[in-house]
Amino acid sequence: MRRVVAGVDSSTQSCKVELRSVPGFELVASGSAPHPQVSPPSSEQDPEAWWQAFLSAFRHALAAAGDVEVAAISIAGQCHGLVALDADGHVIRPAKLWNDTTSDVELRTLIDVIGQAEFIDRTGSLPTAAFTIGKVAWLVGNEPQNAARLAMMLLPHDYLNFRLTGEFVTDRSEASGTGYFDPDANEYVFEFLHRVDPALGWESMVPRVAGPDEVVGQVLDGPAADLGIHPGVRVGAGAGDQHAAAVGLGLGPGDLCVSLGTSGVAFTPSSDPVRDPSGLINGVAGMPGGFLPLACTLNSTRVTDTFARLLGVSHLELAELALAAGQEGPVLAAFLDGERTPNRPGASGLLAGITAETTREQLARAAFEGVVFGLFNCVRLLEDAGVPTTGAVLAVGGGSRSPAYLQLLADALGRRVDVADAEQAVARGAALQALALAEGRPLVDVMVAHKPARREVAAPRQRSEQRWDRYRQVAAVTELDAQ
C-alpha cells in the first residue's frame, strides 16, 4: 500500500485536494468541488458547504489514487473570514468572507477609536473591511442576539481543522490577518477586541496559535469514516492561502509572487517584520516562520470574467483580443466590487478614454491591464516600504494561465515573468506541511528539498509608462459611492 499525504486548498470558489507520495512527493491524484458563488458587497458562505466540498474533493482524489494510506493532512484556505461558533461548536450564522465589505462603517469607527498608527504598530497592518476584526464589530453592532451566543471565533481553514480534529486551533499566518494579533510578538491584542465590546470574554473565544511543525490533532472517527480513511491521521496547523502558496512555490527572500485569482495579491517572504506607516502593506506572518508582507486587490480575474461576458467571447478569445491591441485606447480603474488597495470598499469601476473609434481589442486590453496595474501598484508599495523584490517574478492563480495577463504583467514590471511547476501552489504548500509531519522534519527543510522547477513565460516588450500614468489619473478620481 502506497503512503500519501493530503494538501488542501479551501478557497473562495472551490476546494481542491492533492494527494502526494511519501517520501517522493509525486502527485498521485487530485480532486475538487465547488463552493457557493458569492458577490460583494455582501459575501457570505455557509461553512457546512466548505465541509461538504472538502469531503467530496477528498473522496474523489482518494478514489483516483487507488490503494493508498493517508499519513497526514494539512489544510490552507481563504483568509480573514469570520466563522462564529456557539458554546457547542455550532455555526451561529453564515461566515462573512474576506471580500465582504459590509463592515466598512464599523471598521472605520474602530480605526478612529484605536488609531491608525496603533493598529499598524501592534499588528503590522491597517485593517480594511476584509479583516476579521471588522466582521466581529459588524456582528456585535448589527446582530447582538448572535453576538451574545458567540463562544469561539475561527478562520475558514481553522473551521475545517475543527471539524476534522475537534481542536480549537489556528496558525500564525492566519492569526496575523485578523486585526487582533501581533505576528512579531506572537500574541493576541485583546485590547482591540475589548474596544469592540468591553463586556465579552474575548480571551476564551480565540483559538490557540500552533507552529508550522506541530501536529495539532488527529482525525476523529466520524470524519475519518466520511473521508474513507483510518482515524488518527495527523493534521497540521495549515495556513492562509497566499502563505501556503509561498511554501508551495519555494519562494526565497526577494522572490516576488503575483497571484491572479478571485483577488490579486503581490507578496514576498521577509525575515524581518514590516511596519508600513501608510497602512497599505499588510505585515503578516509567513507559514514556515518569518513574515510575508503583501498588498492585496479585491478585483482580479472576476474583472476579465465580466468583460468576456460583455464582449461575448471566451477567456482565450479575450486574451487574443487584448494582445492584438496597441498602446491606444481606454484605461480601466478596475474597482468593480469596491477595492482594498486603495481602500475604497464602496467604489465601482471606471472606464475612461472610450471614443467612437474604440475597438474590442482595446476594451479587452483595458480589462486585463486594469487588473495588472492594480497589482503593479501593489509591487511599488512593497518597494516603497523597503521590502526587496529583486528576485524572480512568479505568477500564480487561474489568471497565470492567460497569456494576456502574463505578457501585460511583464510589460508593466519591465521584467521577465516565470511560472513554477506547481499548478495548485496553495494545495502543494499544504501538502509540504503534511509531508513534513509524516517524515518528522522541519517544514523549512522539506520546502527547500522539494522546490518546484520554474520556466519563463513572458518577457517585457515596450514599457507601458504612458498607459500607467493614465491609469493612475483615472484611479485617483474614482470616488466612493458612499461619499
Residue 280 C-alpha cell reads as: 497599505
- Which residue shows C-alpha cell 472605520? 108
Spatial CB neighbours of 262, under 8 Å, sequence gap ≥ 6: 11, 12, 13, 99, 300, 301, 302
- Give the phi and the psi of residue 82 in degrees, each rounded to 5: -105, 120
Spatial CB neighbours of 243, under 8 Å, sequence gap ≥ 6: 76, 173, 174, 284, 285, 286, 287, 292, 429
Query: What distance in Å separates the CA atoms of residue 437 and residue 92, rounded to the nearest whole number?
Result: 33
67 contacts 311 by C-beta, under 8 angstroms: no
Radius of gyration of the chain (CA): 22
Q: Which of 158, 241, 411, 418 is catalytic?
A: 241
Q: What is the bridge-based pairing of β-strands 83-85 and 169-171? A: unpaired
Q: What is the bridge-based pairing of β-strands 152-154 and 417-420? A: unpaired
Count of positions (residues) in the chain: 483
Is there a catalytic annotation at residue 241?
yes
Q: What is the bridge-based pairing of β-strands 2-10 and 68-77? A: parallel
Residue 126 C-alpha cell reads as: 491597517
- Catalytic center residues: 241
